[in-house]
Amino acid sequence: MLTIRIIPCLDVRSGRVVKGVRFQNLRDMGDPATLAAAQEAAGADELVVLDITATDEARGTRLETVRSVRAAIGIPLTIGGGVRAAEDVESLLEAGADKVAVNTAAILDPALITALAARFGAQCVVASIDCRSDPAAASGFTVVSHAGKVNAGLDLAEWAARVEALGAGEIVLTSWNNDGTGGGYDLDAIRRVRARVNLPVIASGGAATAGHFIDAARAGADALLAATVFHERPETIGDTKRALAQAGVPIRL
């Protein structure tokens, strides 16, 4: 049976894992490769490395971090942050990434998703969608870009359906209302996207307790991403997976 994936996300800046509420007040959390290895050992199904300053500082993801994390883990590795063109993807794959997440660049140029999927395969292209609740949007959520700073003027459900049609292989859905709050995933946003696409959906933003993961799986998420809760204690990954299994969610233990 296909299992629900638990995916730690390492927010990396200048080669170090950092932690911050909505990317403010960043705190050093250690070496990415060391933390990644501990997370695989604790049961991580996959890993995401997000270079959280890449878009703003326009410098691309640090390939050295990718190489060191790749050498340390034997599970799938997705890299996000500042991916703008096929050349970025090529160098990331060469360094050891298996998938890339595109966000702002795809909003500015949706054809990028199609071009990347045609060249590297749909399984390589993860559409990263950041959303914020917005009563004026048809689905109740609007898409935001540039690390949450810009309202992209797109309805969440419409954009999700569009990235599927454009050829993405997966969606990472981050709620900017909930991210960093520890108040749980945005279940309504998950349901809205789930209702419109058949792609795997990775829920992101707000997870702190085992109950949050269980709720998101029941809302239709295929994979559950979290950062802070898995940085501080990688063992939490195993605890979370056991709690999910106990709740009847299919899990790889």
Partner 1 sequence: MTGRGPASQRVTIIETGVGNTASVVAAFARLGIAAERANGPASIRNASAVVLPGVGAFGPGLAALRGGGLDSAIIDRVRAGSPLLAICLGLQMLCASSDESPGATGLSVLPAAVARFGLPASLRLPHMGWNTVSGDGPIVRPGHAYFAHSFRVSTEGVEPPEGWSIATTEYGGGFIAAVERGPVVACQFHPELSGSWGLGLLARWARTAGLEATCTIPAGEAC
Residues identified as active-site: 11, 130
How near is the Cβ of 225 to partner 1 at its closest, in Å?
Answer: 13
Q: Alpha-carbon torsion 32, 33, 38, 39, what sign? A: positive
Interface with partner 1 (CB under 8 A): 1-5, 40-41, 45-46, 70-71, 74-77, 93-98, 119-124, 169-170, 198-200, 222-223, 252
C-beta closer to partner 1: residue 88 or 179: 88
Do the bridges between strand 16-21 and strand 24-30 make them parallel or antiparallel, or are there none, so unpaired?
Answer: antiparallel
Q: Alpha-carbon torsion 249, 198, 156, 13, what sign? A: positive
C-beta closer to partner 1: residue 3 or 177: 3
Token match 């932690």: residue? Answer: 19
Enumerate the H helices of 167-202 as residue ranges.
187-196
How near is the Cβ of 26 to partner 1 at its closest, in Å?
Answer: 29
C-beta closer to partner 1: residue 25 or 198: 198
C-beta closer to partner 1: residue 86 or 208: 86
Token match 């959520």: residue? Answer: 141
Query: Residue 166 is encoded by which pair of tokens?
Result: 């454009």
How near is the Cβ of 19 to partner 1 at its closest, in Å?
Answer: 26
Distance CA 49, CA 243 (A): 25
How near is the Cβ of 74 to partner 1 at its closest, in Å?
Answer: 5
